[in-house]
Structures are given as structure tokens and as C-alpha cells.
Chain A
């Protein structure tokens, strides 16, 4: 793409999220969300094949619907209560509509159907931006308004998302769809605790961004998008393969890796709030997700290498990709659990 256009699109992506973060008026927050949607559209369609265009169209339609619903909810609230401020969303119709719109924006179940198809049509870098950066602005709004939203809706969205994220990902062989369902499941974990302890939502969001960045960047470095090709990464980059196995288990939430931190803290908060059944449901649903992460680890490391090969392994030429972000994210995705008290203090 033309570098000037690319620079303007990326800076507009930054502008949109910053605008939503900095706003206390609904219109400005809506503007930020729309800027994000607009700016990522050409990035998604830059590889001009029909699958990417289809993904762009689906993404644009769902995000535009969600943004229109947000506008509708905020004008309803302004009509009923006269308040345009984000923190004063007191009308129950408006707050429910608003939560539904934001659930559509970030891909929470039952409004998740667009996410696997959209992610499948994109290349891995744009998919990474979609899964991480585009989630920040809606979450800023959700965290600010969570106290006024019906608790049943939040719990339903969270539990359904985790279950759907687990079950939907079970039959997938395409890695981008697996990562989409993993995103849905992690969003479910973030939403379930937001009414009790919003800082745990921030921790969950932060650790999810780190872990999924590690996953996406690994797949980008190894040029793999299916489990078939994932099985041959050990011959291209053995160190990365072993580190990725651990990063996938971190996504699954196993101790002593980073992914355990949010799940542990959220389950602890749920039991402190006297909600043992919801906590059990969430833990069991995370088990379903863990199955397909384990399947990826199995395909990558636990079956084939190291063994005697019956063909020549590929030449390991020096790669031209920048590996520093991958190294950073992978290390952080594996080793952050002992920092739990520091991170909790950072987000309080």
C-alpha cells in the first residue's frame, strides 16, 4: 500500500482509540469508534482477493450496525434523562441497548457469528490489529458504564461467550478461526467480572492482548494458517515451536504461565461475591477451550519432533521479519505470573 496512505490509516486508528478513551460525551466516543472502523477497512481489503473483501464487508456492516445502535442508545438516554455524559447512563433501555451494541462490536456471544468468518478472511497482521487494538476502545466504554447495566445481561453474555468460544473452536482446523473463538472465550471471561471488579477486566484484557499477540506473531513468523502446516514449524524454527507450545498453554490458562493470572483472580472474585455456580461454569467452559489449545500443542510439539525424518528439512535461512515484538510478547506471555501483586496494584 502507498506508505502515506498507510501512515494516515494507522494514525487514524490511533486517533480513534485515543478519542474514545479521552471522551466523556457519547458523541465523541461514537466518533472514535467510527474512525476505528473506517481506518481499518482498507487495511483489511489491501490484499484484493474476494475473501478479504468479503471479510471487510462483513466487518464494516456489523461494526456500523453496532455504532448506529450506540448512537440510538445514547440519544434515547439523552431524550429520557437529558444526560450526554458516559458515566450517567441511567435509563435501563439505553444501557441494555448500549451493552448489546458493544457486545456486537467486540464479538461476544450471541453476537459473535461475524468474528470467525472475518478473521479467516484476513492476513495475520490485520487479524492481530483486529483482535487487540480494536477491542480497547469498546472496553473503555464498557468499563465506564458497567455499573449501570443489568447484571443478568452481563452474566449471560459472559457465560455464553465462554461456552460458545469453547465449543465453537473444537471442530476447527484453521488457526485464525481457532484464535477467533479463543477471542470470544476470553472476552467472556472479561465481561463476567466487570460488575464486581473492573480492574480484573483490565488485567484480563492486558494479558489476553499479550498472549494473542504472541500467538498471531508466531503464526506470522512461521507462515502457517492451518494445523497441517503448524505441524511442520519444528523444522523451520525449533526454539519458536517450543516457546509457542507454552504460549498456547498460557492462552489456555494453565499455571505457572501468565494466562493463569486472570482466570485465578476472576474465579477468586466470583467466589468472594458468593457466585460459586457461575465460577464453576466458567472453569468448566475454560476446560473446553483448553482442549483445542492442547490439540495445537499436540500437533506442534508433542507428536513429531524430535524424530528421524524421512525427507530433508527446510534450510533455516535468516529471516527478514522483525522478531523483537514476537520475542517480547512470548516472554511476557510465559513469565508474568509471579508479577500478579504488582499488576494488581497497577490496575487499581
Chain B
């Protein structure tokens, strides 16, 4: 189990490096898909199965799909994947940075163990993530209302920024 989680975390780092190294957005979206997918796997290993499901459905299945379609609309004639010189430079620099920091924080065999979200390992019905969602709707109701307001605000901000087609703020619209 620990080895599997280790694999997933390595894949997470590689996916994030693939996004941050500045390829064509289409390939960066692929890196995001990989990173989010293995992140969901890590969450499941922690015991947060509901949160992982929500992340998969809404983030990957909703927002990232929309982003991939929008990125496909902005296709380039000469896309730069991770083999082209400039992107490869970034990839190597980031991997070097990650390995440096990992070497700095490397512990012994006794450091760290894989613990789950709450105290009892597998013997509870209400895990940490599900009860978190429940608290968000009950005691955290005010925060939820503010989150809804922020979503509306974001919509209005985006609409205002893209108003006016090419005469407006973003000339590429």
C-alpha cells in the first residue's frame, strides 16, 4: 500500500512538473489530468473516498473538460510538447529543484507513516471528509453563502473582462 502511494505521489510530482514547464496549453491540460487523477488516488489511500469522487467528477469531469475544449480552440500550428528545447529546460530545472528539496527533507526509515483521515483505520461510517461536507452545510452555512456570492462575483468579473469582444479588455476575444 505504501509503495503504491509512493508511486502515486511520484506521478503527482511528475504531472505538476509537466504543467509548470510551460508547454502548449493542450499538453499542460494533460499534465493536469494526470496530476488530478493521481491526487484522487492519494486521497482515496488516505480514506477520503467521497472527496476523491467529488474531485474526479467536478474538477476533472467538469472544469478540466471545459478547459480542454477551450484550449483546443486555441490550437497552435507548431505545438511545443515536453521534448522541445525550451520546455525541456524548464522540466530539467524543476526536476532538479524537486530532487534538491527532497534531499534536504529526506528522513530515515522511522520518519512518517501513512495515516488515514481520522482515528479508526477502516471501522467508521462517517469518515473525515463526509462529516466535513456535513459541517460545511450546517455550522459553516455562512461560509457557504459567501462562497456562492464569490462564484457569482467571478462570473460577473469574467463577463466584465471579456465584454466588448475585440474592442474590450482582451483583444483576442
A-to-B contact residues, CB < 8 Å: 1-2, 5, 8-9, 12, 15, 19, 27-28, 31, 34-35, 38-39, 41-42, 45-46, 48, 50, 52-53, 56
Contact = CB atoms under 8 A, between A and B. Distances in A.
B170 A1 contact: no
Interface stretch (B32-40, B50-58, B95-103, B160-168): B160-168
A31 B147 CA distance: 8
A42 B164 contact: no
Contact of B161 (A12, A31, A45, A50): A45
Query: Which 6 residue pairs across A and B have the least CB separation, nearest first?
Result: A42-B160, A45-B169, A48-B169, A12-B153, A48-B168, A42-B157
A52 B149 CA distance: 26
Contacts of B153: 8-9, 12, 35, 38-39
B73 interface: no
A46 B164 CA distance: 11
A9 B169 contact: no
B74 interface: no
Nearest to B167: A48
A28 B143 contact: yes
B143 A38 contact: no
A38 B152 CA distance: 11
Nearest to A50: B171
Contacts, number: 50
Given A28-B143, A35-B146, A41-B157, 10 more contacts: A8-B153, A9-B153, A15-B146, A27-B143, A34-B150, A38-B150, A38-B157, A42-B156, A50-B171, A56-B169
27 contacts: A2-B160, A5-B156, A5-B160, A8-B152, A8-B153, A8-B156, A9-B160, A12-B149, A12-B153, A15-B146, A15-B149, A19-B146, A27-B143, A31-B146, A31-B147, A35-B150, A38-B154, A38-B157, A41-B161, A42-B157, A42-B160, A45-B169, A46-B160, A48-B169, A52-B169, A53-B170, A56-B169
Contacts of A56: 169
B119 to A, nearest CB: 13
A28 B168 CA distance: 33
A85 to B, nearest CB: 15
Nearest to A47: B169
A9 B160 CA distance: 10
Contact of A9 (B143, B156, B164, B171): B156
Interface in B118-173: 143, 146-147, 149-150, 152-154, 156-157, 160-161, 164, 167-171
A53 B147 CA distance: 27
